[in-house]
Amino acid sequence: MLGSNASSERGASLKELGRTGVGRRSFLGLVGGAVAFAALPALTSCSSGGGAPQATSSAGMADATSKLVPSYIPLETVKPDIPSVNGTAPGFTSMPSSSVKSVQGVPGKGGSYTVMTPAWWAIPPADNSYHRAVNERLGATLNFQVSDGNTYGDKIQTVLASPKDVPDWIVIPSWNLPPRFGQAVKGLFTDLSEYLAGDKIKKYPNLANIPTAAWKYSCFEGGLYGLPYPSGGVGNAFFYRKDLFDEMGLEQPKSADEYIALAKELTDPAKNRWGSEEVWTGAQLMHGVDNWKLVDGKLQSRFETDEYRAALEWGAKLFASGAVHPDAVAGNIQKSGQRFESGAVLMTAGGVGGWHEALGRNLPINPKFQMQPMDFFAPDGGKPTLYRGSPAAIFSFIKKTDDPSKVEEMLALANFAAAPFGTEENMLIVNGVEGIHYTLDAQNAPQATAKGKDEVTSTYAFLVNSAPVNNEVQYPGYVKNKTDWEIRQAPYVVDPLFYGLQIQEPSKFGSLGKPFDDLSKDILRGRKSMADLDAAIATWKKNGGDELREFYAGFLNA
């Protein structure tokens, strides 16, 4: 949950996704990274509307949520080629020769439900053969109301303000949870714990396959209200152009100083080549910055920490070196991906989920194109500390109803949507119908047809999802490279101080951290100094920072 320019980075990344198919997994990677680098959280929790937490410690919250969440009953529908290690995504270097069926019979009972969901790509047509095919298999009708993801937060607030307009089922990304959502959740949505808690989940095996942390993060106001889209792990990385590095006989840097030295060495304006993009998110990861840190028994906001200061100082040194592309210096990050992919920049930082999307764009026109994530390092070249991202990025909520049969039917549909990789249901949800929405390539991987590109998007997939896997086999070596990289980073991944707790800051703190957004940009570019950071921290403390600290202190273990 770091980074001054997270919102614009997230928007740019989502717009680039375009379509789903197998690529919807890239959305998970990008979302995971975006959530990990969002500004200080304004999310909701098991807290009262006024801001005083119902549970006065993280232990108390954990105890409360443990009684609400489902039992974890893992499935292995297809054995991965590279098993998970310490929570990493399993890798599938080849597609299964056949799919298994995870849902027997027709899950629906003929119901019809309105569903509101976002899209960061072209809105799919209303007359949609993909929706008809999935609805037929579901035995129920989901009527989607798809809205522009870039303005979805405003749409959510408008809809929730008028209970009669709330659809039967609504998707809300974690970054779009509005202020005082905790006040509304009990009155608007169904507490699913009475249907799913503990072993009740056995009725829905695919939902039982979702990791416990994602369910805990779906608890609001003392109830289980959300169906999660799991994420987590490390969602961002430093990337380098390995193909061009190999040509020049160079290796990736292994310390903060080496990064700057190499960026300077690579920079040659006469050849339209610069060493680095702006890498503020990566700088914070490298320096071990987190939202809150416990120092000698006292909470420090990230702005107050030595790590945040060191990340800014290093970033300013990078800019001062002249190795950052001029467009990045000017603040144009929207085209950072294009600069990196064209070879105008050779090192960058971004969402891991965009990796294979870049391969898809570039390999057809440049078969030698190769980008790789760097192994993380501490600034001095030692072992890094990498904070785990949020366990869920998106939630869906079922509208409150007096008819339990409707809830049970929608949960049966959710169980279908949550089918893991290697199942017939997952293939349908992700890709549509073979021969209509996709064909299989030489690697047995789905490739979208023109109709598939037009109609198949993350509508059903946003309702609930299985844990992520690495399965983009159409890019030679990609799955192994990505999975191996995740395994190498895994020993350094730790849980943040308030990991997995849904904590809603009182609305009066909503804009408290915003001045640091512009300040960090100015300090990085040499327009302001660390003295300005000290002044901003003093203002932050006076304007409510100390009060916010006390609020969070209430969630610490006694």
* Position 281 in a domain: yes
| Distance in angstroms (rounded) separating the CA atoms of residues 136 and 394 | 26
Last residue of one domain, picked from the residues 494, 520, 542: 494
* Position 31 in a domain: no
* Position 214 in a domain: yes
Are 449 and 535 contained in the same domain?
A: no
What does the pLDDT read at residue 61? 59
Are 101 and 229 contained in the same domain?
A: yes
DSSP E strand stretches across 47-195: 112-119, 141-148, 169-173
Please write the tens of the pLDDT for every residue from 164-211.
999 999 999 999 998 888 888 999 999 999 999 999 999 999 999 999
**Helix (H), strand (E), coil (C) string for 242-290:** HHHHHHHCCCCCCCHHHHHHHHHHHCEHHHCEECECCCHHHHHHHCCCC
What does the pLDDT read at residue 534? 98
* Position 21 in a domain: no
Are 293 and 164 contained in the same domain?
A: no
Are 225 and 129 contained in the same domain?
A: yes
What does the pLDDT read at residue 131? 98
Residue type, 213: A
| Distance in angstroms (rounded) separating the CA atoms of residues 65 and 501 | 9
Please write the tens of the pLDDT for every residue from 511-557.
999 999 999 999 999 999 999 999 999 999 999 999 999 999 998 86
Write the DSSP string, 291-346: SEEEETTEEEEGGGSHHHHHHHHHHHHHHHTT-B-HHHHTT--TTHHHHHHHTSBS
Q: With bands split at pLDDT 50, 70 and 90, how would you rate the model's confidence at 60?
A: low
Are 395 and 369 contained in the same domain?
A: no
Average pLDDT over residues 120-134: 96
Are 533 and 546 contained in the same domain?
A: yes
Average pLDDT over residues 95-110: 95
Q: 3-class SS at 548? A: helix
Are 242 and 356 contained in the same domain?
A: yes
Q: What's the structural domain count of the chain? A: 2
* Position 11 in a domain: no
Last residue of one domain, picked from the residues 460, 494, 528: 494
What does the pLDDT read at residue 4? 27
Average pLDDT over residues 417-434: 97
Please write the tens of the pLDDT for every residue from 346-363.
999 999 989 999 999 999
Are 165 and 56 contained in the same domain?
A: yes
What does the pLDDT read at residue 34? 39
Q: With bands split at pLDDT 50, 70 and 90, how would you rate the model's confidence at 54?
A: very low
Q: According to the per-residue pLDDT averaged within each range, which of 21-30, 40-49, 494-503 is highest?
A: 494-503
What does the pLDDT read at residue 66? 84
Are 476 and 537 contained in the same domain?
A: no
Mean of the per-residue pLDDT values of the chain? 89
* Position 166 in a domain: yes
Q: Residue 527 is part of which domain span?
A: 236-387+512-553
For residue 265, give every residue at least 6 positions away whose Cβ sits within 8 Å of its Cβ, in sequence order, or none: 250, 275
For residue 475, give every residue at least 6 positions away whose Cβ sits within 8 Å of its Cβ, in sequence order, or none: 356, 359, 360, 363
Please write the tens of the pLDDT for every residue from 267-316.
999 999 999 999 999 999 999 999 999 999 999 999 999 999 999 999 99
* Position 22 in a domain: no
Please write the tens of the pLDDT for every residue from 197-249.
999 999 999 999 999 999 999 999 899 999 999 997 889 999 999 999 999 99
Are 82 and 228 contained in the same domain?
A: yes
Are 251 and 397 contained in the same domain?
A: no
**CATH number for the domain that contains residue 285:** 3.40.190.10
Residue linked to tokens 């006040």: 183
What does the pLDDT read at residue 510? 84
Judge whether residue 19 has pLDDT over 50. Answer: no
What does the pLDDT read at residue 130? 98
Q: By C-alpha distance, which of 505, 19, 414, 523 is closest to 196?
A: 414
| Tokens found for residue 31 | 């979302």
* Position 449 in a domain: yes
Average pLDDT over residues 114-134: 96
Are 129 and 211 contained in the same domain?
A: yes
| Distance in angstroms (rounded) separating the CA atoms of residues 362 and 341 | 7
Q: With bands split at pLDDT 50, 70 and 90, how would you rate the model's confidence at 50?
A: very low
| Tokens found for residue 401 | 């109803």
Query: C-alpha dihedral over 548, 549, 552, 554, to 10 degrees?
Result: -110
Judge whether residue 55 has pLDDT over 90. Answer: no
